[in-house]
Amino acid sequence: MPKKEDLKGKLKANFSMRVKFYGTRGSIPVCSRDYQDFGGNTSCISISIPDKNILSIIDAGTGIRNLGKELMNDKNGLPKEITIGFSHFHWDHIQGFPFFTPAYNPNVKINILMMGKGWGIDKLKKIMINQMGGAFFPIEMKEMGAHFNFLTLGSKVVQHSSNMSVRAKLHSHPGGAYSFRIERNGKVLTLVTDIEHGDTINMETVELAKGADLLIHEAQYTSEELKNRKGWGHSSYQQAIQVAKMAGVKQLVMTHHDPAHDDVFLYKMEKECQKEFSNCCLAREGTEFTI
């Protein structure tokens, strides 16, 4: 008979990747009472693997502050290596970074994966450094303490120390943004945020999501709202569902909720979406998915 703790350990490790939403809002954080169920913090998703020493994060919106707090209170201690990958550098994807407490710990190594604008890593690095300098924040990035390692990957597949293979693809958004296909032990996670498909679905996105066990796709607007938001860089619920169907994904989670969409609205949208694609839901802050 295995000990209770052993059994717990085994059950816990029964996944390839665990995804947790810390920020589900797009554009700007919202905090009134009508936004508590789906959450008000901006984009941040953690991807953990059974090895507690390695953690990956996509985007550092305001949600990363709570993730940092959770890591600081974890009885297993901080992960030795944290990788933060950025889809792009609009405020709702970077503004939580100065409040990510583990970044102030000299024993932590943080890989910062940045791509975009055809810029080299030295120029990309300045985006992070500048948002913490001068008029914007009292503490400079070099004073934070953690060991930062800046990386870029273009669109080739890279092997991460977590045994994840990561492929990134540039898509249409003002200034450009990247989507990711992450594979580990035969499981596939695709993340697509801040994408404007336009009149037809981007087939490169469909290819990136092909057969995914979990597709996280932004859905900021209804089809009706999208008509008047051309050039704003976002998708509708309808388009996210279309990508999921075309790519034959097993599960779809929609995120990057518009700040104008309160809980009542989002519950209603979720029901509508599930009529079209049964294994889908709208992301709520604090929820986890394992594949």
234 contributes a contact to Zn ion by CB under 5 A = no
CB of residue 3 to Zn ion, shortest distance in Å: 46
25 contributes a contact to Zn ion by CB under 5 A = no
State which of residues 17, 20, 24, 26 lies at the interface with Zn ion (CB under 5 A).
Answer: 26
Residue 43 vs residues 22, 200, 255: alpha-carbon distances, Å: 7, 25, 8
262 contributes a contact to Zn ion by CB under 5 A = no
For Zn ion, the binding residues in 111-150 under the rule CB under 5 A are: none
218 contributes a contact to Zn ion by CB under 5 A = no
Residue type at 158 in one-letter notation: V
Residue type at 252 in one-letter notation: L
61 contributes a contact to Zn ion by CB under 5 A = no
Site stretch for Zn ion (CB under 5 A), options 28-36, 89-97, 141-149, 283-291: 89-97
Nearer of residues 114 and 188 to Zn ion, judged by Cβ: 114
State which of residues 59, 81, 183, 194 lies at the interface with Zn ion (CB under 5 A).
Answer: 194
Nearer of residues 108 and 112 to Zn ion, judged by Cβ: 112
Round to whole Å and give the CA distance between 203 and 229: 21
**CB-based contact 112:128 (threshold 8 Å):** yes
Round to whole Å and give the CA distance between 51 and 17: 10
CB of residue 26 to Zn ion, shortest distance in Å: 5
Give which of 39, 14, 47 is closest to 256, Cα–Cα: 39
Instruction: Report the number of secondary-structure helices (H) and strands (E) in the chain.
Output: 8, 14
**CB-based contact 265:206 (threshold 8 Å):** no
Q: Which residues bind Zn ion (CB under 5 A)?
A: 26, 90, 92, 194
